[in-house]
Amino acid sequence: MQPFTRRQMLAQTSCGFGALAMQAICQQAVRAAESPSAEGLTEGGSAADLRPRTPALPARAKSVIFLCMSGGPAQMDTFDYKPQTTDKKHPGSDVAFQQRGESGMWVSDLLPEIAKHADKLCMLNGMHADTGNHAQSFLQLHTGEKLRRRPSLGSWVTYGLGSENQDLPGFISLNTSKPAVYSSGFLPNVFAGTPLGVNGEDMTQATIHNIQGDHLSVVQKRAQVDLIQAINQTHLDSRPEEAALEGLIQTLELGYRMQAAAPELLNLQSESEETLNRYRVGQQETRGGCKQSDFGRQCLLARRFIESGVRFVELNHGSWDQHSNHRADTAANCAAIDAPIAALLQDLDERGLLDDTLVIWGGEFGRPGLVPEDGKDATGHNHQGFTFWLAGGGTRRGFVHGKTDDTGARAVEGKVHFRDLHATILHMLGLPANELTFTYEGRAHRLTGPDGGRVVTELIA
């Protein structure tokens, strides 16, 4: 009898490997059916998968789009109108504003397209944070912590709710080079954001890293993954409490399924020319010798991902850190985001998605105003008073909450901290903001920190 070669042995026994994998998957399904669907997660349970879960509270929203304006947008030149009201000139708005829509909301002339949707917006003019340092405040905006590596907002949301599409990530982060934006921290890896594109990259060429690979057929890829997963499952069975290991196994399986689903979503050829023009896809400008990120493509991809059941999508646009050339750079940034965001709001509304999609706009802090007559064209950082806005997802439309003082320097009414914003977002998704926890190093952790956050019920319709 001729001995088997290694190639022959693998070919003859591949069906056996598939059977082992199927057994492992069936065992996993049984465990999933027996595990708690919602309550267990709030107690630091180990359900490291993206199965959709029923929220503990009545939910007004089921998905999130976060429009992150990195660098600190100038609130007094965009949404917080601060005209000169006394004979003594003081810092304030340096561009023209108009009252928009039936609500009469003040919106800058730098944002004429977004202004058309003023009656969809819920404006927060009393935001404040702990620090005016970019890195620390950006981290706190995303994770609730200023210094330590912790799970991001998107990871907490997918941990609490799972995803409605098991062939795509629950959390996608567009155009970022900052891992803090999409890190799952101590949560299982399956809840981490999938980064798509990096800062300044031409989004027309953007792909999800390592998702392609045509050297194997579909059947061969499936057999390969089945074999690896069977071995992984056997390893996990001897370590049932290893949530991180379970998350890695889930991530590998998700990566395989994404190879079929993701490329189609990234291909915008099915969109009409009219749609591409409304979003300004491919019409990004070049500033300082560098091509800016294609923000219109980000917005259109966000709509497509939300339609496909992705739970949380973050878009990033920067930099709004205008320490010089403030007027020109603010105008350029506004021009880059204005039409794409307006198109996104229009499409979400017309497709019936805005009712249960919470859209969030803002950055890590704001900026001081300018005195129009003094000729200066530079601003600093202002974490004591700045603006965010929300739209959809059960928020009050055409509503303004909070205010800063006459110079926009400090929030004086309706103050909302990042912890309160996080608590409100979780609450609107049906998650108990201060009870959604994960046990790490023997202690229960939560997004809203040791002191918890306040749900800003004034924002809810």
Question: What are the tens digits of pLDDT across the range 363-409?
Answer: 999 999 998 778 789 899 999 999 999 999 999 999 999 999 999 99
* Share of residues in the chain with pLDDT > 90 (%): 60
Query: What confidence tens digit (pLDDT) does each residue in 264-292 have?
Result: 788 898 999 999 999 999 887 655 444 45
In a domain, 254, yes or no: no
Number of domains in the chain: 1
CA distance 76 to 98: 13
The letter for the amino acid at 89 is: K
In a domain, 115, yes or no: yes
CA quadruple 409, 414, 417, 418: dihedral positive or negative? negative
* pLDDT-based confidence at residue 199 (cuts at 50, 70, 90): very low
Mean pLDDT of 81-89: 87
In whole numbers, what is the pLDDT of the chain averaged over residues?
Answer: 83
- Global pTM reads 0.82
In a domain, 293, yes or no: yes
Range of the domain at 394: 63-213+272-459
Q: Cα-flanking dihedrals φ and ψ of residue 406, to 5°?
A: -60, -25
* pLDDT-based confidence at residue 447 (cuts at 50, 70, 90): very high
Is the CB of residue 153 less than 8 Å from the CB of residue 425?
yes
Establish how many alpha carbons lie within 13 A of residue 265's alpha carbon, considering only the half-sphere containing its beta carbon.
26
In a domain, 17, yes or no: no
pLDDT at 37: 34
Closest CA to 449 of 156, 77, 87: 156
Which CATH number does the domain housing residue 414 bear?
3.40.720.10
Among 22-26, 386-390, 433-437, name the most confident range.
386-390
In a domain, 147, yes or no: yes
Q: At residue 429, does pLDDT exceed 90?
A: yes
Q: At residue 17, does pLDDT exceed 50?
A: no
* pLDDT-based confidence at residue 93 (cuts at 50, 70, 90): very high
Phi-psi region of 393 (alpha: psi -120 to 50; beta: other; left: phi over 0): left
In a domain, 218, yes or no: no
In a domain, 349, yes or no: yes
Mean pLDDT of 77-87: 91
Query: What confidence tens digit (pLDDT) does each residue in 106-135 have?
Result: 999 999 999 999 999 999 999 999 999 999
In a domain, 46, yes or no: no
